Structure 1
């Protein structure tokens, strides 16, 4: 199954909490912010459990299947010098938020998106120098996704 994220921007918090009867109001362009208890800071800039209306969204198909995504994460970890499955929760280093929260669960808010966008920009030349087109295509797509959401947006994994 492809790995697809949806980045949204122009988020405005709605007054109501996101509850089962919320959909009955038929609001367009509304999304719920989902928290990740293992990485609560990932949603920074947004309030977990709240409904947000968004102005724009864009899908980012970053891998043809989950195994391809995992391989790219491993290549990214190798590029920056650590093993992504054993990345310390509070250790320093680039892409740490992505390794702690690879997108399986929860919303990545604008604060974390901005941080990741900056890290992807900093490491772009190194990623290009690796010479693997599939890795760089993944890297560039991830960078665009976080740049899209970094100001007033967020990133959600799209389940199919």
Structure 2
């Protein structure tokens, strides 16, 4: 895990009416995503069918850190922002819960429902995040907020590389 950390967000998804086979020559990762659940945060795929393939109109790549450890450090700062020292339980209602739980397995698709909830969390906590005075943290805070705002428009978000 030594390279940059990229997420992709897309919007305006439509379910493709055929089996999702990544090796299919018609599968194009620039316009398709396959729903993948994460056992540590099973609700993140809400609004999508498990294992289904979706076609999207628009996507964007987000380089959220230069290295995996830098992303983990950013998530730890986000946890501190909301008063946590450890990741929350699955049934917790703490802001950003699914981001905190996602990293335990580092895979899964944030569907439109989880993305909308996270975009709302980012909007609610924006003033406090800015007030920290940590320009680097706030820069990535804004980027990740934009990522989930895009995905909340009938789309999804997923980790692409690290």
Common fold by TM > 0.5: yes
**Mapping 1:145-160, distance limit 5 Å:** 145-159=147-161
Q: Does the 8 Å contact 2:6/2:61 carry over to 1?
A: yes
Q: Distance in 2 between matches of 1:92 and 1:25?
A: 40
| Secondary structure at 1:8 match in 2 | strand
**Mapping 1:33-44, distance limit 5 Å:** 33-44=35-46
Whichever structure has more helix as a proportion of its residues is 1
How many angstroms does 1:26 deviate by?
A: 5.6
Q: Distance in 2 between matches of 1:26 and 1:78?
A: 40
How many angstroms does 1:16 deviate by?
A: 0.8
Over the aligned positions, Cα root-mean-square deviation in angstroms equals: 1.7
| Secondary structure at 1:24 match in 2 | coil
Q: Look up the match of 2:61.
A: 59
Q: Does the 8 Å contact 2:9/2:150 carry over to 1?
A: yes
| Secondary structure at 2:109 match in 1 | coil
Deviation by residue 1:85-118 (Cα, 9 ceiling, x = unmatched):
4322212211112111238111000000000000
Deviation by residue 1:22-60 (Cα, 9 ceiling, x = unmatched):
x23366712211111222111111111011111000001
How many angstroms does 1:146 deviate by?
A: 0.2
| Secondary structure at 1:25 match in 2 | coil
Taking structure 1 as the reference length, the TM-score comes to: 0.92
Asked whether 1:110 is paired with 2:119, we answer no
